[in-house]
Amino acid sequence: MSSKPDRNLGVELVRATEAAAIKASAWIGRGDKNAADGAAVEAMRDFLNTVDFSGTVVIGEGEKDEAPMLANGEVVGNGNGPECDIAVDPVDGTSVTASGRAHAISVIAVSDKGTMYNPKDVFYMDKLITRREGKGAVSLDQSPEDNVRELAKALKKDISEITVAMIDRPRHVPLMEAVRRAGARTRLFLDGDVAAGIHAVTGGGNIDMLLGIGGAPEGAISACATQALDGYMQGRISPQSPEEMKKAITAGHDLEKIFEINDLVASDNTYFVATGVTDGLLLDGVQKRGDYLRTDSIILRARSGTIRRVKADYLASRWI
């Protein structure tokens, strides 16, 4: 059996994110995030089990989501192919899907077996993502003001042109104020930081950097995408409650360590695949076009530096 993901794997995996996005899209604006997530999980798992690979779920629908499928440790695929670590988020942005807001996506990330960081028993991570020019200029050890100033120098921009993305949460109010005090702008989003992290690497949406505390599992997923795009990323475990702090310490996590991208995914052979659920800066959401449903997806592969955009039309009657 091959031990490494092959070049066709991304094209196979996109069928699973497309299926998850389509099933989740039936619940857009219906106020039931659990139903949206459940439909996406089932569809993604069904399609993953047809793919020629043996993927161990390192980051899945675990304790936080209380999901019965795609749980950490589950093996997916038909077994006829490379052995891989896999991270899944059938809907990154369940709340925005339920409310009918923008930027929800379905995501899969893959790396060589044994190379993906497992944030066991930890739900949150402090993250910094930007373009490769930021390496050596920005750090989680620096203040937000210093990061803004140093990134502006590295990108040869005026500070007033720098835009920092972060999740709109009360915990980030001091961060927002610091970024604005430095003379930069903020770009706030409601849920899910994977797409914003990609924009921080590519410059899409006029975003220059992602800062702030988001999901730890999404941190490893973002690392696969950042690796594929030759960007720069740091992460640090950030428990948000005494209970989570206790679990993190018991699990042996170093709460002071700053993870570089190679700590989060120790492979240059990563895939990142995503399909839009609702319209966003990165991808269009699932659209009804006559008798067909149209999906919009992206496939990133680190080893080849390939970025593929895929639009597919599915006969709607097959999915209803």
* pLDDT tens digits along 174-204: 999 999 999 999 999 887 789 899 999 988 7
Distances (CA, A) of 280 to 29, 103, 108, 245, 271: 15, 4, 18, 34, 21
Using one digit for the tens of pLDDT, what is the confidence trace for 206-220? 899 999 999 888 898
- Which residues participate in the annotated binding site for Mn(2+)? 37, 61, 89, 92, 218
Binding residues: 37, 61, 89, 92-94, 124, 169-171, 191-193, 215, 218
**Mean pLDDT over residues 51-56, rounded?**
92
Task: Supply the pLDDT for residue 66.
Answer: 54
Binding site per annotation, positions for substrate = 92-94, 124, 169-171, 191-193, 215
Rounded Cα distance between 170 and 45, Å, is 35
Which range among 7-21, 49-63, 234-248, 262-276 shows the weakest confidence by mean pLDDT?
49-63
Longest distance between any two alpha carbons in the chain, whole Å: 55
pLDDT at 303 over 90: no
pTM of the entire predicted model: 0.90
Three-state DSSP at 6 gives coil
Which spans in the chain are helix H? 9-25, 33-48, 94-99, 144-155, 173-181, 194-202, 216-228, 242-250, 261-264
* pLDDT value at 2 more than 90: no
pLDDT at residue 61 is higher than 80: no
CB 194 within 8 A of CB 88: no
Q: Are 210 and 130 in contact (CB under 8 A)?
A: yes
The confidence band for 80, taking pLDDT boundaries of 50, 70 and 90, is confident
Segment 291-310 shows an average pLDDT of 93
Which pLDDT does position 67 carry in this prediction?
54
Give the pLDDT band (50/70/90) at residue 68. low
User: For the residues 279-303, what does the mean pLDDT come to?
Assistant: 93
Q: How far apart are the first and last CA of the chain?
A: 38
What percent of the chain has pLDDT above 70?
A: 95
**Is the confidence at residue 64, as pLDDT, over 70?**
no
pLDDT at 245 > cutoff 80: yes
* Cα(83)–Cα(112) distance, integer angstroms: 7
Mean pLDDT, all residues of the chain: 91
> How far apart, in whole angstroms, are the C-alpha atoms of residue 285 and residue 269?
28
Q: What's the rounded mean pLDDT across residues 106-116?
A: 95
Query: At which residue do the structure tokens 């949460």 appear?
Result: 169
**Could you tell me which residue, 165 or 10, shows the higher pLDDT?**
165
**C-alpha angle 207-209-212 in degrees, rounded to nearest 5:** 120
Instruction: Taking the CA atoms of 76, 286, 229 and 151 in sequence, report the sign of the dihedral they define.
Output: negative
* pLDDT-derived band at 38, boundaries 50, 70, 90: very high
Determine how many CB atoms are found less than 10 A away from the CB of residue 101: 18
- pLDDT of res. 119: 82
Q: What type of residue is 137?
A: A
Q: Which residue has the higher pLDDT, 186 or 317?
A: 186
Q: What is the pLDDT at residue 122?
A: 84
Question: 54 φ, ψ to 5°?
Answer: -120, 100
The pLDDT value given to residue 201: 94
Confidence class for position 1, pLDDT limits 50, 70, 90: very low
Handedness of CA 71, 234, 299, 36 (dihedral sign): positive
Is 6's pLDDT higher than 70? Answer: no
**Is it the case that residue 165 has pLDDT exceeding 70?**
yes
Residue 249 scores a pLDDT above 70:
yes
**Complete domains list, the chain, with CATH:** 9-114+269-318 (3.30.540.10), 124-264 (3.40.190.90)
